[in-house]
Amino acid sequence: MMENESTHGSSDSTPYLKRGTYWTYDQVFVKSAKIMNHLNKSGQAGVFGVQLHAKNTPTANLKVLKIMLHSIQIFLPKDVNMNIILTGFEPFNGSTTNPSAEVIKNFPVDSFSGHNLILEILPVDREKAVAWLRKSIQETHPEIIILLGEATNRPVVSIEKVAINWMDFRIADNSGIQVRDQAVVGDGPAAFFSTLPVNLIYSQLKTAQIPAEISLSAGAYLCNQVFYSSLYYLSLAENKSLCGFIHLPSLPEQVVEKNLNAPSMSLDTSLKAITIALQTCIQKYPEQ
C-alpha cells in the first residue's frame, strides 16, 4: 500500500488494521471526538495510531485514514454509544394522526440510554423529508437508521426488504405535489436492499407474538422515497450503517375516526415492535 511499511502494518489484501498497528511515518492519533469517545468507553483510547508521510499523495493518506476508521468500527464492542436515527411521518391524506409519528413521540428513549437517539417526525413533503435525512446522515454518521411509516391497509408490521428507484404518488404530498412516474435519483441504481437484519427482526417479532411480515414492496410514495434516498446517500459515503424501513398498521382510533373497514394495531404493540427491532439491530451491528 505504501513505501517503507512497518512489518506490523497492513498490506493491500488486508481490509482493515489490527489494534496496535503503526506505520513507519510520523505518528498521528485519530482525534475525532466521536471516535475518541468510543475508544474511551472501550478502554482502547491511545491504542489506535496511524502514521502519515508528507511524500505520500493526499489520496494515499486519505486511504490510510479510511482503513483506520473502518478498523475502529469493526472492533468496537456492542455496548458503546451509537448514533441512531429513528423517524416517522406526520399525518397526511386528511388524517389527524399517524402511527409512525405516535411511536416517535412515545418511544422509550430511557431503554436506550447508552446511545444517542435522534428522533424526528418527517414532513410528508418529498423535498423537505429527504433534505432532513441527507443533512442528518452527513452530520451524525449514524450506525443505525430505522425509518417508519403507515400502511393503512396492512394488518401486520411490515419489515421492508427493498427500496426501488421510482416515485408514483397515488395522492399529493402535504405540499400539494403529486409526482408521477419519476426516478428518485436520476442516475441511481434500480434498487437497494435494506441493510437491517430483516429476517432476524421478523423472527424476533414472531417470538414476541407480534404480527409481522417481510415485505417486498415499500410502495412508490414518500415511504419508499426516503428509504431509497437514505440508502443512496449511505452508499455515496461508503457508510456501512444498518438502514431500512418498517411500515406500521393504522391505529384503532384512525379506523374509528374515518369509519374504515380496515385493520389496525394498538400503539403499545407498535411501540413494542419497534423497540424489539432496534434492540435487534444494536445486537447485530456491525455484523450484518
Residues identified as active-site:
160, 223, 247
Residue 112: what are its φ and ψ, rounded to 5°?
-125, 40
Cα gap 11→216, rounded to integer Å: 40
What nine digits make up the cell of 15? 481490509
- 119 close to 132: Cβ distance less than 8 angstroms: no
What nine digits make up the cell of 281? 439491530
Rg of the chain taking only CA atoms, in angstroms: 21
The β-bridge partners of 118 are 85
Cα gap 219→160, rounded to integer Å: 10
| CA 168 to mean position of chain CA atoms | 24
Per-residue DSSP letter, 78 = T
- 246 close to 236: Cβ distance less than 8 angstroms: no
Q: How many CA atoms lie less than 13 Å away from 24 in the CB half-sphere?
A: 9
